[in-house]
Amino acid sequence: MSDSQPLLDFNPDFCRKIAKRGAIISFAWLGIAICILALVHPGSQCPAWTIYDKNGEATSLWVIVGFFMGLPTILLCFIVMRWKGFTRMINDSGADSYRRFLASKGSDYQNKPAAYTFPMNSVFVMAIGMWSLFCSIPLWAMILPCF
């Protein structure tokens, strides 16, 4: 077995903390949106929390909140709850399927370290940050046209 450097720059403890914080933020956005929909009376521009298009088609904000906030929040909470399996999947995908091009042709040394390490920690932080921003879209859809 060769002792080459790992292909992924992946720290499971750090990424788990980031995933937990992302789940908390997404859950907070969802709670704020549900409280606004349930407790605040919408303005005259959005009767019954329904946004009307220029063609007259109606879109309920409850449906938008469910799809753009509820489902991503549930998925992120599922990832946090099943963290060991998620970590195993990441490690397996980084270790098993990687083959250097020249090694696959038989002309490269097998014990030579990988030339590139994928920055998994940085990508994970960016993905969770963008996920949390994505979950805030329905709040902007409520605030901008309805008030």
Complete DSSP assignment for 124-144: HHHHHHHHHHHTTHHHHHHHH
What pLDDT, on a 0 to 100 scale, did the predictor assign at position 2? 47
Is residue 45 domain-resident? Answer: yes
Is residue 65 domain-resident? Answer: yes
Q: What is the mean pLDDT of residues 33-53?
A: 84
Is residue 7 domain-resident? Answer: no
Is residue 31 domain-resident? Answer: yes
Give 122: exposed, middle or buried? Use CB within 10 Å, 0-12, 13-18, 19+.
Answer: exposed
Is residue 4 domain-resident? Answer: no
Calculate what percentage of the chain has a pLDDT beyond 70: 78
Nearest-angstrom CA–CA distance, 133 and 112: 41
Is residue 133 domain-resident? Answer: yes
What is the pLDDT confidence band of residue 1, given thresholds at 50, 70 and 90? very low
- The range of the structural domain enclosing residue 130 comes to 12-88+116-146
Is residue 95 domain-resident? Answer: no
What pLDDT, on a 0 to 100 scale, did the predictor assign at position 108? 54
Token pair belonging to 112: 């030579």
Average pLDDT, the chain: 81
For the segment 97-139, what is each residue's pLDDT rounded down to a tens digit? 555 555 555 555 555 555 566 788 899 999 999 999 998 888 8
What pLDDT, on a 0 to 100 scale, did the predictor assign at position 28? 94
Is the backbone of residue 122 left (phi > 0), alpha (psi -120 to 50) or beta?
alpha
Is residue 5 domain-resident? Answer: no
Q: Which helix (H) or strand (E) holds 28?
A: helix 12-39
Contact 49, 62 (CB under 8 A): yes
Higher pLDDT pick, 64 / 7: 64
Nearest-angstrom CA–CA distance, 25 and 73: 9
Task: Tell me how many domains the chain contains.
Answer: 1
